[in-house]
A = this chain, B = another copy of it.
Amino acid sequence: MVEKAARARRVSMVDVAREAGVSQKTVSRVVNDEPYVAVDVRERVLAVIERLGFRPNAAARALVTRRSHRIGVVAMGGTTLHGPTSVLAGVEAAARRAGYTLSVIRTEPGGRDEIQAAVDALAGQGVEAVVISEPVDVGGAPIDIPEGVEVLTFGMGNATSHPRELVVGADESGCARDATDHLLAQGHAVVDHIAGPSDWLSSRSRTAGWRRALVDGGVAPPEPVAGDWTPAGGFSAMSALIDRGGCTAVFVANDQMAIGAMSAIQRAGLRVPEDVAVVGFDDIDVAAYLAVPLTTVRQDFAETSRVGMHRLLRALDGHVHDDLHRTLPAQLVIRASSTASPAAG
């Protein structure tokens, strides 16, 4: 039974004005806290607003001011990925404090086209800026951003056509390198790697850092095994590494896969860290509470989103940033999964 859904007319400024015996414009002044309204008039209008339950019409306001006060978010990862989820929380808080509202589009990580479609959809809603939570590799052509729309990207940069795209993220490559160095320092001759999907920039950065640590340490990097960020993927990948033989240490591109990997190690009758040392990435909340607490890399997502949004909001106010990139510190958190010294080669 599809009705025509004739929406009722809501209370408008004109209604308030009539009731209060003033002009619509004066109501507008009161609502926007403009000066040059007599105290008694202001109070009278406010009383009527309260009584009639008036709410300003956001669409009308956006139309006339050409400002939507809306920020679009492209959130990667259909499910529960740590990074994107954590960042979203921070972005929302910052936006709300600044009087902006958020439009969220989730997209399955699938490359350029999905993101482009999401950005287009957001642009159609009139967003003033777009926040891309985790850029995947855009394979050639950058994402096209309509004129007048600001861009903030979390993670490694530039994925878009915007000339002044803001980028905020941790030095994931450097952290991956630190993590790998840590394993090498424990006496492992070589460190294997379970990577994330290769179309994620984060994934590639982490793999790059791992590879550099090995190369700089004079070790030939073995072939990494790719996972899909999930525990199941980590389990399969680790099983493959065990079958290959000779694995004593593995750097895993995120914690969820690391948990899957530890499960595979245990299932194979091996121990963590005595037989195989494991290091993850992200420091998800359960990492410290596993049977073998997980060594991992912690990024301060709260700070990341805070800094990013601060810069974006300034840009929306017309400020031109000199430095478009900002790298935030991250920290290797050493726990039991990597610290028992293995039998020296």
Q: Could you list which residues of chain A lie within 8 angstroms of chain B, going by C-beta atoms?
A: 1-5, 7-10, 53, 55-60, 62-63, 66-68, 73, 78-80, 82, 85-86, 88-89, 92-93, 96, 101-106, 121, 123-126, 146-148, 230-232, 234-235, 256, 259-260, 262-263, 266, 284-286, 288-292, 316-320
Contact = CB atoms under 8 A, between A and B. Distances in A.
Nearest to A287: B231
A29 B104 CA distance: 29
24 contacts: A1-B320, A2-B318, A5-B67, A7-B66, A7-B67, A7-B148, A55-B124, A55-B146, A59-B59, A59-B126, A79-B85, A79-B86, A80-B85, A89-B106, A102-B104, A103-B104, A231-B288, A234-B289, A256-B286, A259-B286, A263-B289, A263-B291, A266-B291, A286-B286
A291 B288 contact: no
A8 B292 CA distance: 58
A148 B8 contact: yes
A266 B259 CA distance: 17
B67 A57 contact: no
A131 to B, nearest CB: 12
Residue among A4, A147, A285 with max Cβ neighbours from chain B (10 Å): A285
Contact of A80 (B86, B102, B260, B317): B86
Given A8-B147, A101-B121, 4 more contacts: A2-B318, A80-B284, A231-B285, A290-B291
A66 B104 CA distance: 22
Contacts of A266: 291
Given A92-B105, A231-B286, A289-B260, A319 B2 contact: yes
Contacts of A4: 318
Given A56-B124, A289-B231, A1 B319 contact: yes
Residue among A55, A73, A121 with max Cβ neighbours from chain B (10 Å): A55
Contacts of A285: 79-80, 230-232, 256
Contact of A101 (B58, B125, B289): B125
B290 A5 contact: no
